[in-house]
Protein backbone atom coordinates (compact mmCIF):
# COMPACT_ATOMS: atom_id res chain seq x y z
CA UNK A 1 0.00 0.00 0.00
CA UNK A 2 1.34 3.42 -0.91
CA UNK A 3 0.67 6.81 0.59
CA UNK A 4 -1.59 7.61 -2.32
CA UNK A 5 -3.90 4.75 -1.37
CA UNK A 6 -4.40 6.05 2.18
CA UNK A 7 -5.26 9.64 1.26
CA UNK A 8 -8.96 10.36 1.12
CA UNK A 9 -10.10 12.49 -1.78
CA UNK A 10 -11.24 15.96 -0.72
CA UNK A 11 -14.95 16.59 -0.99
CA UNK A 12 -15.91 19.48 -3.16
CA UNK A 13 -17.52 22.41 -1.40
CA UNK A 14 -21.18 22.99 -2.10
CA UNK A 15 -22.25 26.35 -3.54
CA UNK A 16 -23.61 27.27 -0.09
CA UNK A 17 -20.27 26.49 1.58
CA UNK A 18 -18.39 28.50 -1.05
CA UNK A 19 -20.70 31.50 -0.49
CA UNK A 20 -20.27 31.16 3.27
CA UNK A 21 -16.49 31.07 3.09
CA UNK A 22 -16.40 33.88 0.56
CA UNK A 23 -18.61 36.11 2.76
CA UNK A 24 -16.43 35.60 5.84
CA UNK A 25 -13.21 35.90 3.86
CA UNK A 26 -14.39 39.05 2.09
CA UNK A 27 -15.29 40.66 5.44
CA UNK A 28 -11.85 39.70 6.81
CA UNK A 29 -10.11 41.21 3.78
CA UNK A 30 -12.09 44.46 4.14
CA UNK A 31 -11.16 44.61 7.83
CA UNK A 32 -7.53 43.87 7.02
CA UNK A 33 -7.41 46.62 4.40
CA UNK A 34 -8.96 49.17 6.77
CA UNK A 35 -6.64 48.12 9.63
CA UNK A 36 -3.50 48.13 7.49
CA UNK A 37 -4.44 51.46 5.93
CA UNK A 38 -5.05 52.92 9.39
CA UNK A 39 -1.59 51.89 10.54
CA UNK A 40 -0.01 53.27 7.35
CA UNK A 41 -1.96 56.54 7.81
CA UNK A 42 -0.53 57.19 11.29
CA UNK A 43 2.22 59.82 11.64
CA UNK A 44 5.70 58.35 11.34
CA UNK A 45 7.58 57.74 14.60
CA UNK A 46 4.44 58.05 16.69
CA UNK A 47 3.16 56.03 19.62
CA UNK A 48 0.87 53.16 18.60
CA UNK A 49 -0.74 52.35 21.94
CA UNK A 50 -4.46 51.73 22.52
CA UNK A 51 -5.14 55.43 23.03
CA UNK A 52 -3.82 56.29 19.57
CA UNK A 53 -5.61 53.37 17.91
CA UNK A 54 -9.00 54.16 19.47
CA UNK A 55 -8.88 57.96 19.76
CA UNK A 56 -5.94 59.25 17.72
CA UNK A 57 -6.38 61.71 14.85
CA UNK A 58 -7.12 60.37 11.38
CA UNK A 59 -6.65 62.00 8.01
CA UNK A 60 -9.78 63.01 6.12
CA UNK A 61 -8.86 60.79 3.17
CA UNK A 62 -8.50 57.75 5.41
CA UNK A 63 -11.75 58.49 7.27
CA UNK A 64 -13.76 58.84 4.06
CA UNK A 65 -12.16 55.79 2.43
CA UNK A 66 -12.49 53.61 5.53
CA UNK A 67 -16.12 54.62 6.02
CA UNK A 68 -16.94 53.74 2.41
CA UNK A 69 -15.05 50.44 2.57
CA UNK A 70 -16.74 49.55 5.86
CA UNK A 71 -20.26 50.27 4.62
CA UNK A 72 -19.95 48.79 1.13
CA UNK A 73 -17.73 45.85 2.10
CA UNK A 74 -19.88 44.74 5.01
CA UNK A 75 -23.12 45.27 3.08
CA UNK A 76 -21.86 42.93 0.37
CA UNK A 77 -20.50 40.42 2.88
CA UNK A 78 -23.68 40.42 4.98
CA UNK A 79 -25.91 39.88 1.93
CA UNK A 80 -23.82 36.90 0.78
CA UNK A 81 -23.54 35.52 4.33
CA UNK A 82 -27.30 35.50 4.88
CA UNK A 83 -27.85 33.68 1.60
CA UNK A 84 -25.40 30.99 2.73
CA UNK A 85 -26.31 30.21 6.34
CA UNK A 86 -28.57 27.41 7.52
CA UNK A 87 -31.21 27.47 10.27
CA UNK A 88 -28.76 26.46 13.01
CA UNK A 89 -26.32 29.25 12.19
CA UNK A 90 -29.11 31.77 11.71
CA UNK A 91 -30.34 31.02 15.22
CA UNK A 92 -26.80 31.37 16.62
CA UNK A 93 -26.37 34.63 14.70
CA UNK A 94 -29.66 36.08 15.95
CA UNK A 95 -28.99 35.22 19.61
CA UNK A 96 -25.42 36.49 19.34
CA UNK A 97 -26.67 39.75 17.85
CA UNK A 98 -29.16 40.13 20.68
CA UNK A 99 -26.46 39.45 23.29
CA UNK A 100 -24.21 42.02 21.60
CA UNK A 101 -27.07 44.53 21.64
CA UNK A 102 -27.60 43.94 25.37
CA UNK A 103 -23.86 44.42 25.92
CA UNK A 104 -24.31 47.88 24.41
CA UNK A 105 -27.67 49.07 25.79
CA UNK A 106 -26.94 48.14 29.40
CA UNK A 107 -23.58 49.89 29.96
CA UNK A 108 -24.05 52.84 27.56
CA UNK A 109 -26.73 54.75 29.52
CA UNK A 110 -25.09 53.81 32.84
CA UNK A 111 -21.78 55.23 31.65
CA UNK A 112 -23.53 58.31 30.25
CA UNK A 113 -25.35 59.21 33.50
CA UNK A 114 -22.22 58.55 35.57
CA UNK A 115 -20.31 60.93 33.30
CA UNK A 116 -23.03 63.56 33.59
CA UNK A 117 -22.53 63.41 37.36
CA UNK A 118 -18.72 63.68 36.90
CA UNK A 119 -18.24 60.15 38.25
CA UNK A 120 -16.81 58.66 35.05
CA UNK A 121 -14.97 59.82 31.92
CA UNK A 122 -17.00 60.54 28.78
CA UNK A 123 -18.59 57.45 27.25
CA UNK A 124 -16.38 55.90 24.55
CA UNK A 125 -18.46 54.68 21.62
CA UNK A 126 -15.65 52.53 20.18
CA UNK A 127 -15.06 50.80 23.51
CA UNK A 128 -18.78 50.02 23.75
CA UNK A 129 -18.73 48.78 20.14
CA UNK A 130 -15.78 46.48 20.85
CA UNK A 131 -17.50 45.16 24.00
CA UNK A 132 -20.66 44.37 22.03
CA UNK A 133 -18.64 42.66 19.27
CA UNK A 134 -16.71 40.53 21.78
CA UNK A 135 -19.94 39.43 23.48
CA UNK A 136 -21.49 38.79 20.06
CA UNK A 137 -18.51 36.66 18.99
CA UNK A 138 -18.42 34.61 22.19
CA UNK A 139 -22.14 33.84 22.08
CA UNK A 140 -22.03 33.03 18.36
CA UNK A 141 -19.07 30.65 18.81
CA UNK A 142 -20.72 28.97 21.81
CA UNK A 143 -24.06 28.44 20.04
CA UNK A 144 -22.53 27.41 16.71
CA UNK A 145 -20.02 24.90 18.05
CA UNK A 146 -21.49 23.53 21.28
pLDDT of the residue at 25: 93
Domain that includes residue 137, residue range: 87-146
Q: Give how far the C-alpha of residue 118 lies from the chain's centroid of Cα atoms, to the nearest Å.
A: 32
Start-end of H helices in the chain: 3-6, 15-41, 50-55, 60-84, 87-105, 107-116, 125-145
Alpha carbon 35 to its chain's center: 12
| pLDDT, position 40 | 83
Tens of pLDDT along 48-84? 666 666 667 788 999 999 999 999 999 999 999 999 9
Residues 37 and 62: beta-carbon distance below 8 Å: yes
Same domain, 66 and 129: no
State whether 13 and 58 are in the same domain.
yes
Q: What is the pLDDT of residue 42?
A: 77
Question: Which of 85, 100, 117 finishes a domain?
Answer: 85
Instruction: Round to whole Å and give the CA distance between 95 and 60.
Output: 36
5-48 per-position pLDDT tens digit: 677 777 888 888 899 899 989 999 999 999 888 888 877 766 66
Together in a domain, 7 and 77: yes
Q: Are residues 7 and 66 in the same domain?
A: yes
- 24 with 74, same domain: the answer is yes
Classify each residue of 102-115 as buried b or exposed e, where b means 16 or more C-beta atoms within 10 Å of its C-beta.
ebbeebeeebeeee
Q: Which of residues 85, 110, 130 is at a domain's end?
A: 85
Same domain, 13 and 46: yes
What is the structure's pLDDT at 12? 87
What is the model's pTM? Answer: 0.74
Total domains, the chain: 2
Amino acid sequence: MTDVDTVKPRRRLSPRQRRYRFALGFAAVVGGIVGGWMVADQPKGGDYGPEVIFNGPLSASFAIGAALLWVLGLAISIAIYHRAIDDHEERAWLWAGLAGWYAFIIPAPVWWVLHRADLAPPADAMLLFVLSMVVNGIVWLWLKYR
